[in-house]
A and B are shown apart, each in its own frame.
Chain A
Amino acid sequence: MNRRSFLGLMMAGAGVSALSTPAHALVEININKGNVEPLPIAITDFVSNNELGAQISQVVAADLQRSGLFAPVNRAAFIEKITDPSKAPRFEDWKAINAQALVVGRVSREGDGRLRAEFRLWDTYAGSQMTGQQFFTQPENWRRLAHIIADAIYERITGEKGYFDTRVVFVSESGPKTARQRQLAIMDQDGFNVRTLTSGKDLVLTPRFSPNRQEVTYMSFEGNQPRVYLLQLETGQREVVGNFPGMTFSPRFSPDGQKVIMSLQQEGNANIYTMDLRSRTTTRLTSTAAIDTAPSYAPDGARIAFESDRGGKQQIYVMGADGSGQQRISFGDGSYSTPVWSPRGDLIAFTKQSGGKFSIGVMKPDGSGERILTSGFHNEGPTWAPNGRVLMFFRQNAGAGGPQLYSIDLTGYNELQVKTPAYGSDPAWSPLLE
């Protein structure tokens, strides 16, 4: 499925972008340099005859600012007022306020009710257009439209895919700790458009997206039988995954979407199994008198990271997709759990317990290069943004209250709360649709 046609959003590629001159860009951000200085960028209100123009530019600015790579220039400092975004701006006015990049745009209503939106990204020092695109969509998709524009700007300037037009499934929690209600919920990555997916009657945990973003696999205690389920997001249809003789938990999709990998509990032991969603055949991958759980595939599907206490404490192991060559990779102080393989394949994120603290960190798939990104009373359950640059996780502070969602980039400097209406845990970031 095409990313642009998903939810009926159309891009007219030949439109504005044909006007752009492929100039050498002075403006660029090299993410690989580590703690980069955010790029000053002016994001003007899109020209429009209602408030939507300002709203779209605010969502674009918020996305770019939260990435930590951009510093939107205070709009009170703007000198030029953009009235016609198809004309070249007065670059001197923007250089004067140190805006190295400039975003202008227009949004209007078509005769058939659709929104028409266009934007241009200017390099103010080179005096050239870096990109320009035009979109048509239903009015209710305006936030999504803004995220797609932010992605285009991010990609043009950093050379990396953006992650703003994505969603997050998570567990929405409410009520006191001793009687906590938990519901599956889905939202945009910036915390907007929250929608609950289950009633709250049954305890639900660990939702994970399918690669095509259409399904979620999760664990539910429905009927006091804790098992792994599959939920179709569009239809709300649910089904149990497999017919296992015990609790199944900690599910995740294979990168091709054809399998669900999970743990099966039998008496005191948990082992890892896959179920092929087409043939319904199950395959056992681990066979230990231990707790083997939290499996996560490498993006190429060839290897699987998981946690096991077979050596005493929980540690991270890696094995082949057929269960071969199981090898421990975590050797630091404390215990390691919830390994999640980066979509880029270069890192494995984890939860680490050490010295009474819970940390989120990353290591290379061979276990080297461990880096702790954040540490505190309780941080748990990282999930990767689809470009592999940002992690989301949940944090429970000491004292009353419940868990909250946070994001942090790989530098560890840009940590932000993702505000949700209720408490939130177990976030899982959606992939991008290409």
Chain B
Amino acid sequence: MSRIDTPAMSRMQTLARNPAVIALTLALALAGCANKKNLPNSAGDLGLNGAGSATPGSTQDFTVNVGDRIFFDTDSTSVRADAQQTLDRQAQWLQRYPKYAITIEGHADERGTREYNLALGARRAASTKEYLASRGIPASRMKTISYGKERPVAVCDDISCWSQNRRAVTVLGGAGM
């Protein structure tokens, strides 16, 4: 999560074409701040101003307060330490709210060929699923899908964007449900 806490303005403007994406990016940025204990009153303020009234157990609660996505290193499918923290929170939350099934969407950055990236995204979704399973989420609640490099969220030609696109996103009641 900390990796996208300060998105550059230029990129925000690019993303502004898609309101859903910018809202999500902002929400994540704010959630990232909320984790920093040295910011006075941050959690309380953000609860009111940033995330709005994220009802506990809601999709918004999951996206904003838990974090719905993790990021990967180039060509890698292993779950990083920072991603493990996010997935631990996801697992706790999913155990508290067992009504949700999830779809894990695996993605790759654009610096690869199409076919390979489809498989790479699938591998990232699979390793995310495996991690959540190891934290007690039954496989029957989880589906995976890969979009390869076809669904980037950040658009630029350097690592700052590519690192945001190499991701696995946990979608509540997502694709195919």
Contacts and interface: CB of A to CB of B under 8 A. Distances in A.
A249 B115 contact: yes
B66 interface: no
Given A268-B122, A268-B127, A338 B113 contact: yes
Given A268-B123, A268-B127, A337 B17 contact: no
Which size bracket describes the interface of B in this complex?
20 to 34
Contact of A178 (B21, B77, B126, B176): B21
A270 B17 contact: no
B45 interface: no
A179 B115 contact: no
A249 B110 CA distance: 18
Which size bracket describes the interface of A in this complex?
35 or more
B29 to A, nearest CB: 17
A203 B17 contact: no
A223 B176 contact: yes
Contacts, number: 98
A176 interface: yes
- Which of B15, B75, B119 has its CB near the most chain A CB atoms (within 10 A)? B119
B146 A293 contact: no
A291 B116 CA distance: 7
B110 A178 contact: no
A224 B145 contact: yes
Contacts of A201: none
A265 B120 CA distance: 10
Interface in A215-272: 221, 223-226, 247, 249-250, 263, 265, 267-270
Interface string B94-122: 00000000000000001111111011101
A383 B82 CA distance: 41
B108 to A, nearest CB: 11
A178 B119 contact: no
A211 B139 CA distance: 42
A177 interface: yes
Interface string A170-189: 00000011111010000000
10 tightest A-B contacts by CB?
A224-B175, A291-B119, A250-B115, A268-B123, A270-B119, A337-B113, A268-B126, A398-B157, A224-B176, A267-B126
17 contacts: A177-B155, A180-B150, A203-B147, A205-B118, A224-B145, A224-B176, A247-B146, A249-B118, A263-B115, A268-B126, A293-B116, A293-B119, A294-B115, A294-B116, A309-B116, A338-B113, A399-B157
Given A205-B118, A291-B123, 11 more contacts: A177-B152, A178-B18, A178-B151, A203-B150, A206-B114, A224-B175, A265-B122, A265-B146, A268-B123, A268-B127, A337-B113
Interface of B: 15, 17-18, 21, 75, 77, 110-116, 118-120, 122-123, 126-127, 145-148, 150-153, 155, 157, 175-176
